[in-house]
Structure 1
Amino acid sequence: MLFKREVLEGIASGRIDRVFRVWAQPRVRAGSTQRTWAGIIVIDSVTPVTPEEITEQDAQRSGFQDRAALLTALSKSTKEGGYHRVMLHLGASDPRSELAGNADLTNQELADLKTTLDTIDTRSRRTPWTREVLRLIEEHPGLRAQDLAEHLNRDKLPFKADVRRLKALGLTQSLETGYRLSPRGQTLMTYLRSTPD
């Protein structure tokens, strides 16, 4: 499921504990989880509902001003299917977020990260790419993935897959649009600039 930033902020604060979706078949199930920048979202239940079963409390606990506003938003969906109430809560924080926020790295940790990047580049079927992508994100924070990929004459989806590999190392963070270097990534880039290959 996709979540708008304001919805994730509401889930993180506890203000939002449900969302509504138009689905022919549920896309998530109770007990499943989803990683987001706000943390790991846990799905508590998924229930088909009629418009009459949607309450004022549903609207307010899903981030809408009132029931009418929620029903209007749902009616504008271009998807076919019925309405579903998805109850959820914020579980554990995403370990990648904690990793990304740690900029206090020892020289050994930085050297190990450098070795990891070297290994990724060596095993790549293309030319080495890790530092090039990190530099590009550093120079263009918030730029769309499509535009970043075009800078490198690459397709968007493979480019995004590469950024996910860097994110798994805690080096980048996803924004509502585009990416930025994490504090950990910024520390590494400073180290790489001061360390000869």
Structure 2
Amino acid sequence: MLFTRDALTGIASGEIDLAFRRWRRPAVRPGTELRTEVGVLVIGEVEMVPETAVTDRDARRAGFADRERLLAGQRPGEDRRLYRIGVRLAGDDPRIRLRQDTDVSAARLDEIVAELGRVDAGSRRGPWTTQVLELIAGQPCVSAAELAAQVGREKLPFKADVRKLKERGLTESLATGYRLSPRGMLVLGRLRASGQG
């Protein structure tokens, strides 16, 4: 479930606590957590509602001026139903704290390196984690499309790989491109020292 930057800002400030989506089937369930640029969002009630039940007040709580604009922004389709979704900010994205954490023992660094080795071993195209870390380290703020092209990859699969590194607190997304986090630089140093960099 995606939100615009304006909607995320509204959720973070508490001005927005509802969302509406026209889906074939619900894409989220109550209790689902979504990590976003403003922090972790938690989904509340997910309820199918008729359009006639949507009020101007509901629309404002979802970040729209009125119900007419809210409904006009929904996906069309006879096979789709309108859902009213509660949403709130639950706290900071834990990856933010993780990527700043460089108080890591040598044994933990070795565990992280071994974990990246398992990711590489499970990849159909072979090892890639160190290559991507090196690429980002050498070219921060370069777009995903440009980085992907340099290693003969398509942009979307490349971005999916970078997200795997981001989950481990090793990279940070920027307005354009990426950079290594302090933790990522530490891990890359360990990979280099072990001859894997």
Normalization by structure 2: what TM-score? 0.75
How far 1:46 sits from its partner (Å)? 1.3
Aligned in 2, Cα 1:18/1:121: closer, same or farther, shift over 3 Å? Answer: closer
* Structure 1: tracts of 5 or more residues without a match: none
Secondary structure of residue in 2 paired with 1:85: strand
Aligned in 2, Cα 1:178/1:196: closer, same or farther, shift over 3 Å? Answer: same
- Counterparts of 1:110 and 1:79 in 2: how far apart (Å)? 51
Residue 54 in 1 paired to residue 54 in 2?
yes
Residue 30 in 1 paired to residue 30 in 2?
yes
* Structure 2: tracts of 5 or more residues without a match: none
CA offsets 1:106-129 (integer angstroms, 9 cap, x no match): 573785377347734873565542
How far 1:178 sits from its partner (Å)? 4.6
Secondary structure of residue in 2 paired with 1:164: helix
Match of 1:137 in 2: 136
* Partner AA of 1:63 in structure 2: G
How far 1:167 sits from its partner (Å)? 1.4
Q: CA RMSD for the aligned pairs?
A: 3.3
How far 1:13 sits from its partner (Å)? 2.4
Match of 2:3 in 1: 3
Normalization by structure 1: what TM-score? 0.75
- Percent of counterpart pairs with the same letter? 43
- 1:73-92 matches, within 5 Å, as 73-74=73-74, 77-80=75-78, 81-92=80-91
* Partner AA of 2:161 in structure 1: D
User: After the TM superposition, which parts of structure 1 deviate over 6 Å for at least 4 consecutive aligned residues?
Assistant: none
Secondary structure of residue in 2 paired with 1:96: helix
Match of 2:97 in 1: 98
